[in-house]
Chain A
Amino acid sequence: MGDSVAAGAGCPAMGSQDTSVLKEVTESDYKYGFVSDIDTDKIPVGLSEEVVRLISQKKGEPEWMLDFRLKAYRHWLTMTPPKWGHLRMPDIDFQAISYYAAPVKKEGPKSLDEVDPELLKTFDRLGIPLQEQKQLSGMAVDAVMDSVSVKTTHKEALAEKGIIFCSISEAIKDYPDLIKKYLGSVVSYKDNFYAALNSAVFSDGSFVYIPKGVRCPMELSTYFRINASGTGQFERTLIVADDDAYVSYLEGCTAPMRDENQLHAAIVEIIVEDRAEVKYSTVQNWYAGDKDGRGGIYNLVTKRGLCRGDYSKLSWTQVETGSAITWKYPSCVLMGEGSVGEFYSVALTRNHQQADTGTKMIHLGRNTRSTIVSKGISAGFSENSYRGLVKVTPAAEGARNYTQCDSLLLGSDCGAHTFPYIDVMNPTAIVEHEATTSKISEDQIFYCNQRGIPTEEAVGLIVNGYAKEVMNKLPMEFAVEAQKLLQISLEGSVG
Chain B
Amino acid sequence: MNDILLKVTDLHAKVEDKEILRGIDLEIRPGEVHAIMGPNGSGKSTLSSVLAGNPAFTVTRGSAIFHGVDLLSLSPEDRSHEGLFLSFQYPVEIPGVSMVNFMRAAVNAKRKYFNEEPLGAGEFLKLMRQKRAIVELDNKLASRSVNEGFSGGEKKRNEIFQMAVLEPRLSILDETDSGLDIDALRIVAGGVNQLKTSQNATIVITHYQRLLDYIKPDFVHVLYKGRIVRTGGPELALELEEKGYDWIKEENR
Interface residues of A (CB under 8 A from B): 15, 17-18, 441-444, 446-455, 457, 461-462, 464-469
Quote the shortest CB–CB distance from B36 to chain A (angstroms). Answer: 18
**Contact status of A465 and B94, CB under 8 A, knowing A452-B109, A452-B166, A457-B105:** yes
CB contact between A465 and one of B56, B80, B96 (< 8 Å): that residue: B96
A465 — which chain B residues lie within 8 A by C-beta? 94-98, 101, 145
Quote the shortest CB–CB distance from A101 to chain B (angstroms). Answer: 42
Contact B81 A444 (CB under 8 A): no
Contact B109 A442 (CB under 8 A): no
Known: A449-B77, A451-B103. 8 other contacts (CB 8 A): A447-B92, A448-B102, A450-B53, A450-B88, A451-B102, A454-B109, A461-B94, A469-B96
Chain B residue, CB-CB nearest to A438: B95
Quote the shortest CB–CB distance from B149 to chain A (angstroms). Answer: 14
Contact A457 B109 (CB under 8 A): yes
**Contact status of A442 and B166, CB under 8 A, knowing A447-B88, A449-B77, A461-B101:** no
CA of A447 to CA of B91, assembled, Å: 8
What sequence of 0s and 1s flags, for each residue 168-208 of chain B, a beta carbon within 8 Å of any chain A beta carbon?
A: 00000000000000000000000000000000000000000
CA of A265 to CA of B230, assembled, Å: 74
B45 within 8 A of A: no
Interface residues of B (CB under 8 A from A): 52-56, 75-77, 79-81, 85-86, 88, 91-92, 94-98, 101-103, 105-106, 109-110, 113, 145, 162, 166
B52 — which chain A residues lie within 8 A by C-beta? 450
CB contact between B77 and one of A452, A466, A467 (< 8 Å): that residue: A452
A15 — which chain B residues lie within 8 A by C-beta? 55-56
A447 — which chain B residues lie within 8 A by C-beta? 88, 91-92, 94
CB contact between A461 and one of B92, B102, B166 (< 8 Å): that residue: B102
Contact A451 B162 (CB under 8 A): yes
Quote the shortest CB–CB distance from A69 to chain B (angstroms). Answer: 46
Chain A residue, CB-CB nearest to B85: A450
CA of A441 to CA of B85, assembled, Å: 20
CA of A451 to CA of B86, assembled, Å: 8
Quote the shortest CB–CB distance from A443 to chain B (angstroms). Answer: 5
Quote the shortest CB–CB distance from A410 to chain B (angstroms). Answer: 15
Helix, strand, loop or mixed for chain A's interface?
helix
CA of A461 to CA of B105, assembled, Å: 9
Contact A442 B94 (CB under 8 A): no
A452 — which chain B residues lie within 8 A by C-beta? 77, 80-81, 106, 109-110, 113, 166
A449 — which chain B residues lie within 8 A by C-beta? 53, 75-77, 80
Quote the shortest CB–CB distance from B143 to chain A (angstroms). Answer: 12
CA of A446 to CA of B52, assembled, Å: 9
CA of A469 to CA of B95, assembled, Å: 11
B76 — which chain A residues lie within 8 A by C-beta? 446, 449-450
Q: List 15 A-B contacts (CB under 8 A).
A: A15-B56, A442-B55, A442-B56, A446-B56, A447-B92, A448-B102, A449-B53, A450-B76, A450-B77, A452-B109, A452-B113, A453-B77, A453-B109, A455-B77, A461-B97
CB contact between A451 and one of B56, B75, B106, B145 (< 8 Å): that residue: B106
Quote the shortest CB–CB distance from A373 to chain B (angstroms). Answer: 13
B94 — which chain A residues lie within 8 A by C-beta? 444, 447-448, 461-462, 465
Quote the shortest CB–CB distance from A377 to chain B (angstroms). Answer: 12
A442 — which chain B residues lie within 8 A by C-beta? 55-56
Contact A467 B96 (CB under 8 A): yes
A466 — which chain B residues lie within 8 A by C-beta? 95-96
CB contact between A450 and one of B56, B86, B101 (< 8 Å): that residue: B86
Contact A454 B77 (CB under 8 A): yes
A15, A443, A448: most-surrounded residue (chain B CB, <10 A)? A448
B97 — which chain A residues lie within 8 A by C-beta? 461-462, 464-465
Closest 4 CB pairs of A and B: A465-B96, A465-B97, A449-B76, A452-B80
B54 — which chain A residues lie within 8 A by C-beta? 446
Chain B residue, CB-CB nearest to A452: B80
Quote the shortest CB–CB distance from A438 to chain B (angstroms). Answer: 9
Chain A residue, CB-CB nearest to B55: A17
CA of A18 to CA of B94, assembled, Å: 17
B79 — which chain A residues lie within 8 A by C-beta? 450
